[in-house]
Amino acid sequence: QVHVEESGGGLVQAGGSLRLSCVASGTILSVGAISWYRHVTGKERELIASISFGGATNYADSVKGRFTISRDSAKNTAYLQMNSLKVEDTAVYYCNAEVVATSYQTEYDYWGQGTQVIVSS
């Protein structure tokens, strides 16, 4: 069994910063790519950042230069450092991890429950 959980969301003022964490736990053989998505009501979930097992990163244009994704593979953890936050960054942020669990011995997507980020003006 694998559990993915995000944390670090909250309420911040525009221009402020937050650091989100994503931890994969359980009976895990390995964790591959980890991605951050965000979702607002009425819109499709948006991929905003991803990081490969080797550390290669990709960012959506909307967050490039402001957000930084990183990982600590030894802890099966990824982070999203969000700086210069804007009101339009308000969303529920979800973590997706490609995990090989011992139960399946094949890579599968695991999602967290989401963490709310609210940026006020």
The percent helix, strand, coil of the chain (3-state, each to 5) is 5, 60, 35
Q: Which of 13, 48, 37, 40 is nearest to 119 (CA)?
A: 13
| Confidence grade of residue 104 (pLDDT, cut at 50, 70, 90) | confident
Per residue in 33-77, pLDDT tens?
A: 999 999 999 999 999 999 999 999 999 999 999 999 999 988 999
Residue 119: other Cβ atoms inside 10 A: 20
Residue 106 φ/ψ region, left for φ over 0, alpha for ψ in the -120 to 50 degree band, beta for the rest: beta
* pLDDT score, position 1: 85
pLDDT for 61:
98
Q: Could you report the per-residue pLDDT of 65-88, keeping only the tens digit for each?
A: 999 999 998 899 999 999 999 999
Going by pLDDT thresholds of 50, 70 and 90, the confidence category of residue 12 is very high
Q: Would you call 24 exposed, middle or buried from its count of C-beta atoms within 10 A (0-12, 13-18, 19+)?
A: buried
CA separation for the pair 32, 54 (Å, rounded): 9
* pLDDT grade for 106, boundaries at 50, 70 and 90: confident
- Residue 21 has a pLDDT of 98
Residue 45 and residue 96 in contact, taking contact as beta carbons nearer than 8 Å: no
Residues sharing a CB contact under 8 Å with residue 58, sequence separation 6 or more, in sequence order: 49, 50, 51
**pLDDT band at residue 105, thresholds of 50, 70 and 90?**
confident
Q: How many CB atoms lie within 10 A of CB 108?
A: 12
Q: What is the mean pLDDT of the chain?
A: 95
